[in-house]
Amino acid sequence: MKRLLAVLATGATALGLMSLSNPPAAAAAGCEVDYTVTSQWQGGFQAAVKVTNLGDPVNGWTLKFALPDAGQRVVQGWNATWAQSGSTVTATNVDWNRTLGTGASADLGFVGSFTGANPQPTAFTLGGVACTGAVEEPPPGGGEPTPGPGTGTPVDVNGLLRVCGVHLCNQYGRPVQLRGMSTHGIQWFARCYDAASLDALAKDWKSDLLRIAMYVQESGYETDPAGFTSRVNGLVDMAEARGMYALIDFHTLTPGDPNHNLDRAKTFFASVAARNAAKKNVIYEIANEPNGVSWAAVKSYAEQVIPVIRAADPDAVVIVGTRGWSSLGVSDGSDENEIVSNPVDADNIMYAFHFYAASHKDVYRTTLSRAASRLPLFVTEFGTVSATGDGTLDRASTTAWLDLLDQLKIGYANWTYSDAPESSAALRPGTCAGGDYGSSGVLTESGALIKSRISTTDHFPTG
C-alpha cells in the first residue's frame, strides 16, 4: 500500500496500544465509506478510512466528512493530502491513487486528537456525491478475484529499489516496507552466518533483508580491509541467492564522527559498489550511528562518500546516518528540522533512524511520526530492550513501535540475528554451533516476538 503523509498540526501524537472495536460507519450511493477506529488512547486515536467508488470512474477525487465533536482534530494522515477547516475534513488523492474505477477502493487513514467525546464522523461525500450506498457482494464462485500481493522472493517481486517522495519504492513505483534482521559484528559472530542460517532467515523467518554490520573499528575493517570487504561481498551473494536484500552497513560507532573514517569509507564503498553494481539487492548504509558530532559534519561526510558510490553504482539506494546515534538528533536535544532545512545534496537517499524500545518511547515516536511526512526514513537498526542492547524486553513499547512502522510503511532491521549473550539477540547462546535457527527452542523472548512479526505475509504491490 502506498502512503503519503501530511502533517496538519504541531504536536503529532504517537500511536497507542489500546484497541477499540467500532463498527464501520455507513456509506454511499455513488460511494461507500468504511470508517473504523483501530486504536485509541488518552486524547488521541487512529482511524482507517476505506472509500469505494460506486459510480462512474473518476480521475482525481476529494473525500469530505464532518467530525461531530469540536475537540476532534486530524493530526496527520496517509494515502491522501489531508486538511481540516472547522469540523470539515478533506482528503484529496495523491498521484498514485488519483484514478478510481467503478468498484475501486482507496485505503486512507489518519491519527487524530480529541478533547471531549470521540464520535464517528458523518456526511461523507466523494466529489460532492453523498456516500450512502453499499458495495454489492459478488455471487459465490463468481466475480473477479481480489488482487493479492506479488509472489516470489522479495527481490524477485520488487526488483531494483528507489526512493520516491518519502518512500522506498519497488520496480513498479509502489512504496514497500522491507522487514528483516541485522547481523551482529561479523568479526565476532561469523559462525552465525552460514548457508543454514541464511536459509532459515529467508525461508522460515521470511526476512526481506539482511543487514550486514561491518564494524570499522572494534577489531573490524581497519584491521583487514581486504578480508572484511570479501566477507561482506560473500554475504551479499548469499542474500541474493535467497532473494533477500543486502543492506551493507559501514558500522561506525566509536569514534562518533564519521569523518574519522572518511578515507576508509571511500576505499570500501568504491570497492563494494563496483563489485555489486549489477545486483538489484544491494542498499548502502554509509554511517551507522554518528554521535558527538554536528549534523553539518555528518552531511559533509555523506556528500563526499555518496559520489564514490554513484561513480560505480548510480542507481542504488543510499542511507545516511543521522546525529545523536541516528535518532534524527533527538538524543542530542534536536529533531528532524535540522535535516529538513539542510538536507544532503544527493538523490535516491534515505535517512537512518534507530531506537531501542525500552529506552526510546513517546518523544522518539512522535518525532518519527512527524518526520515521516518530510523525509524518507529507514529504521536500519532497532532493539526490543534498552539502548545498551541488554535488559528486559519491553514488549509494549516494541509493539507500539512496530505498529507505527507498519502504519507508516517504514522498513526496519532488528538487532540482532545472533546468539550473542545479550537480551537483544534473537537466538539463545550456543545456537550458532548447531543447525536450528527457527524453532521456538532456540529463540530468545526477543527473537520469538520479532520472528512472529517479520514472518507474516509481505504485501508488495505490483500494479
Catalytic residue annotation: 289, 381
> What does the buried/exposed string (b/e) look like for 131-158 if buried means 16 or more CB atoms within 10 Å of the residue's CB?
bbbebeeeeeeeeeeeeeebeebbbebb
DSSP string, 320-388: E--HHHHSTTGGGT--THHHHTS--S-SSEEEEEEEETTT--HHHHHHHHHHTTTS-EEEEEEESS-TT
DSSP string, 166-207: TEEE-TTS-B---EEEE---TTT-GGGSSHHHHHIIIIIS--
Nearest-10 crossing angle of helices 225-241, 262-276? 40
Are residues 89 and 83 in contact, defined by beta-carbon separation less than 8 angstroms?
A: yes
DSSP string, 31-66: EEEEEEEEEEETTEEEEEEEEEE-SS-EES-EEEEE
Identify the burial level of 217 via C-beta atoms within 10 angstroms of its C-beta, where 0-12 means exposed, 13-18 middle and 19 or more buried: middle
Q: What does the block give as the cell for 414?
A: 532488528
- Using alpha carbons, select from 346, 271, 285, 269 the residue that is nearest to residue 320: 285
